[in-house]
Amino acid sequence: MEVWPGSAYPLGATFDGAGTNFALFTEGADRVELCLFDRDGNETRIDLPEVDAFVWHGYLPRVRPGQRYGYRVHGPHNPDAGQRFNPAKLLLDPYAKAIEGGIDWDEALFDYKFDDPDAVNDVDSAPHAMKSIVINPYFDWQDDRHPRHGYHETVIYEAHVKGLTIQHPDIPEEIRGSYAGLAHPVMIDHLKALGVTAVELMPVHQFVQDHHLMERGLSNYWGYNTIGFFAPHNEYSSSGQRGEQVLEFKSMVRALHAADIEVILDVVYNHTAEGNHMGPTLSFRGIDNTAYYRLVDGDPKHYYDTTGTGNTLLMRHPHVLQLIMDSLRYWVTEMHVDGFRFDLAASLARQFHEVDRLSAFFDLVQQDPVVSQVKLIAEPWDVGEGGYQVGNFPPLWTEWNGKYRDTVRDFWRGEPSTLGEFASRLTGSSDLYHNDSRRPFASINFVTAHDGFTLHDLVSYNEKHNDANGEGGADGESHNRSWNSGAEGPTDDVDIIALREQQKRNFLATLLLSQGVPMVLHGDEMSRSQGGNNNAYCQDNEISWVNWDESRSEWSLLEFTQRLVRLRKEHPVFRRRRFFQGRPLSGEGVDDIAWFRPDGSHMTGEDWGEASAKEVAVFLNGDAISEPDTRGAKVVDDSFLLLFNAGHEDVTFTIPDGDYGSAWDIECDTAAPLVEDRPPVKAGGEIEVEARSLLILRRAH
């Protein structure tokens, strides 16, 4: 086969219309073979002829999209020194844009023998390995554009491509559970009616199914086990054809953008699916183990793990940093996504041992003209020492605010001494973000996410019920800050059912009316339950999937959620771009925010410190929004009074008098969501707020 020298850049397989350039980085190898596979699985091996700056490369005329390929990398095999080259192992291209198949966990995939771990396994892994695919980079994007919603206008919907769509009765069966299913008009109609502006997709990078799960008849449903940082996961493609997952993913993005919905990807750049030193050799380990992975100082046979998955990528190596930045840039420029949520992002900041907010990765993101301009969301923790970093990421970043989740859960389940922190979380967590010159939208607020209870289960279970996972209940968080409302799990007690519904409304109303960026977990708007399973990572079945037929009985909650999203969208006082100052605008008039006791008097320091206090009123002044809109015009809004009662008894609130407003209309009551046309309440008047409820009042004009 004819081979030309080709180019060391770009890395990966690049089709130019006449042939394909192949380029692979490996610093320690002494020979690299490119392996091409035909339709019958027959292999042709070709030595890459050139190497520049540790990049081996070659150009093959007439190699076209759809071609399956892999690499065999020759070099020293000395695990004690961290070197794990083994040409018997077919390796995925780290820059593969599409990947075919999965792995069967045959012994051939490992570089050691099961019965003798010190012996080199030289059995060919190709029949059992995944294959990289050359793709056609050309796609008709038509008039696609990035919606570019401001953070303060953003409502995120965390979703799983398969779980959200696999049981939808109005999506054609052949595309359910796929990118095409998510792009179907009925799915987009649901998202538009709900009012979300962005979908945050759980991992869609190509991932690997875990062996121990497959042995138990389970799977890695969540997908946090990446092996291909450029390739859309092939199991979410409805066509099943080689490389078609790329076109289907792009079509999905184009359809969502046409509906003015952004696409954010949950990405896992902290580790790979190759696991620890006993894991399989699929790609990075066999290409250059010491370059790609953090190894234990003084014991390079083993991996330094801050992710709990067996390995951690070496974030101080320039080619690892290049891989991640190239991947991020590719998904923005070629796949048109609008942002990223970084799993275990504290690991990305571990340039050496400690978490360092000034590490090279953040420097690269900061200066990159493409990546720096999209939404960047950190999961600000990992499992390593000092890994909990909520509030400590650089100003360009937003963060999943775990303190918001914990505080709001504690407040509504009636925990003592939560009122002060609840007030901080409600108003954008300025204690975490203000000193960094960040804005309220640095806080990604959530009450539930994929990891943990759903909203329905949060108010229905005190304990996790993870028996289906087969781990004896040892998996999953044991301290969920949940409350079952009086009975564990399903019940026929109408009072408990009513209380649970009210608590769901409390959580949703708090979430959607807090300063910051709200994130709703898919199905929460329709009371999706996982039967008390708070760690359904391995449940690719009805436990995790959204049941659209059953959810129809929960449409009252859906309508309530839609109403709250509209309220947030229509009123910038709930989505300010700057923090409250606690003082009048321009030094005159009424404060931009004010806090009141139930008797109508202002809260004092002693009131905030009262352990038993579970009731508070907050005034949000729509006339005192200091920031201008995008055209520079002054923002003026209605003013609102929110009356919170997280206690177990009804409380009578006195409406503040003075300059705050003379009369107030009832906008929403979580205790009576369907009650309409209630008479307004006047300043100085009294109104009863039921136990465990929130009353939203709008100042009458």
Let me know the angle formed at the C-alpha of 475 by 474 and 478, rounded to the nearest 5 degrees: 80
**Cα distance between residue 691 and residue 698, in whole Å:** 21
Peptide bond between residue 584 and the one before it cis (omega within 30 degrees of 0) = no
**Cα distance between residue 38 and residue 679, in whole Å:** 76
Reply yes or no on whether 379 is catalytic.
Answer: yes
**Cα distance between residue 344 and residue 368, in whole Å:** 21
Exposed, middle or buried, 356 (CB in 10 Å: 0-12/13-18/19+)? Answer: middle
What is the residue-wise DSSP string for 246-263? HHHHHHHHHHHHHTT-EE
Q: Which position among 343, 399, 524, 525 bears the catalytic label?
A: 343
**Cα distance between residue 370 and residue 374, in whole Å:** 7
What is the residue-wise DSSP string for 77-99? EEGGGTEE--TTS-B--TT-SEE
Is residue 175 within 8 Å of 201, Cβ to Cβ?
no
Is residue 234 within 8 Å of 100, Cβ to Cβ?
yes
**Cα distance between residue 667 and residue 695, in whole Å:** 8
Percentages of the chain per state (helix, strand, coil), in multiples of 5: 30, 20, 50
Is residue 51 within 8 Å of 82, Cβ to Cβ?
no
Q: Which position among 379, 399, 637, 638 bears the catalytic label?
A: 379
- Looking at residue 133, its amino acid is I
What is the residue-wise DSSP string for 209-235? --HHHHHTT---SS---EEEEEEE-GG
Residues designated catalytic: 343, 379
